[in-house]
Amino acid sequence: MIQDFPEIQLPPSWKWASDWHIDNTSSSSSEGWAYAFDFRDLNWPPSFNPEGPMTFVRRRRWIRTRQHISNDGRHSFSVGILRAGEVTPLPVECLGHVGPNYILKFKPCNLNGVDEYLWSHVLNYRGRHDSAPKHVSMPCISVSLLMETEELVYTPAQEANATTHRNGLWFCMSVEATEIGKDVHLDPIRDWKLVLTAPLTLISFLPVSSEFSVLEKLSGGELSVRYRGVVKSGETIKVYSANLRNPLYFSLIPQGGWQPIHVCCF
């Protein structure tokens, strides 16, 4: 690298991606030189390359590459509000492999505009048995580098300590791919689908309504109620407040005076 080059200030959102180096693409010389009779004939790209008895001047070009970067979160897309059961497409630009790498995040919100939860992040999940192999999780959902997987996603409450994972909401995100064709290189073209569901679902097939509770066993050994309510016959209850990484316990009392025989652990 030549040390005498002046320092060039780049525009915002750009950074240098290489040092100065000789441009060998525009000249037939291995060292990048272009030759001519005089400087008036020394055009660029070179119009007269070979060195000979009538070439009295020469020059070569030094180049340096730059790379566009995201600046203060300007490169982001707002998908908008997605209600339960709705489907919405992601912008095509955020799916490309060239340019910024976009990360998908979401947070539950109220329609009145009051933010109660923070943006989501992916957490490792190794299953409910100690003998189960540890699930290797992506640190985030990279939209331009999608792979088929299932992730456990957490959205902390605004006032909650993010390390406790007690007051936020939990979701399961499944990333599914359907092959819809081939490109010119016969590589598959996939239609990606990201689905958010409740990490725990209760479906009652009992003929009567029942009271139920979902309890989570904390690190200290105590049980904490994560969800309590009444489920009707044929009803489906979705639980978003339980941390699947801890042991969960379920109790159910059919209405009408029945008593539970034992508490189930799952």
More reliable by pLDDT, 232 or 263: 232
Above 80 in pLDDT, residue 15? no
Cβ–Cβ < 8 Å for 66, 16: yes
In a shared domain, residues 98 and 144: yes
In a shared domain, residues 205 and 193: no
Does 6 fall in a domain? Answer: yes
Does 41 fall in a domain? Answer: yes
Which stretch of 177-186, 206-215, 236-245, 257-266 has the lowest confidence by average pLDDT?
257-266
pLDDT value for 42? 72
Give the count of domains, the chain.
3
Above 90 in pLDDT, residue 235? yes
pLDDT value for 133? 35
Q: How many Å apart are CA 42 and CA 160, to the nearest integer? A: 69
Domain hosting residue 248, numbered range: 200-265
Q: Which of 197, 224, 250 is the last residue of a domain?
A: 197
In a shared domain, residues 26 and 118: no
In a shared domain, residues 186 and 246: no
Does 153 fall in a domain? Answer: yes
Does 236 fall in a domain? Answer: yes
Please report where in the chains the tokens 């009392």 appear, as a residue.
253
Above 60 in pLDDT, residue 227? yes
In a shared domain, residues 225 and 189: no
In a shared domain, residues 151 and 248: no
In a shared domain, residues 113 and 176: yes
In a shared domain, residues 33 and 126: no
Above 50 in pLDDT, residue 5? yes
pLDDT value for 109? 80
Q: How many Å apart are CA 166 and CA 246, to the nearest integer? A: 11
Please report where in the chains the tokens 């080059």 appear, as a residue.
5
25-30 average pLDDT score: 66
The three-state secondary structure class of 95 is: helix
Phi, psi of 25, deg, nearest 5: -85, -20
More reliable by pLDDT, 121 or 67: 121
Q: Which of 137, 162, 197 is the last residue of a domain?
A: 197
pLDDT value for 213? 93
In a shared domain, residues 154 and 184: yes
137: pLDDT confidence band, cut at 50, 70 and 90? very low
Does 11 fall in a domain? Answer: yes
Tokens describing residue 107:
């947070």
In a shared domain, residues 205 and 177: no
Does 74 fall in a domain? Answer: no
Tokens describing residue 82:
């997605």
260: amino acid identity, one letter? P
More reliable by pLDDT, 228 or 263: 228
Looking at the chain, the whole-number percentage of residues with pLDDT higher than 90 is 15
pLDDT tens digits, residue range 89-129? 877 767 666 566 778 888 888 766 566 888 888 887 654 43
In a shared domain, residues 102 and 186: yes
64: pLDDT confidence band, cut at 50, 70 and 90? confident
Enter the pTM of the model.
Answer: 0.59
In a shared domain, residues 257 and 186: no
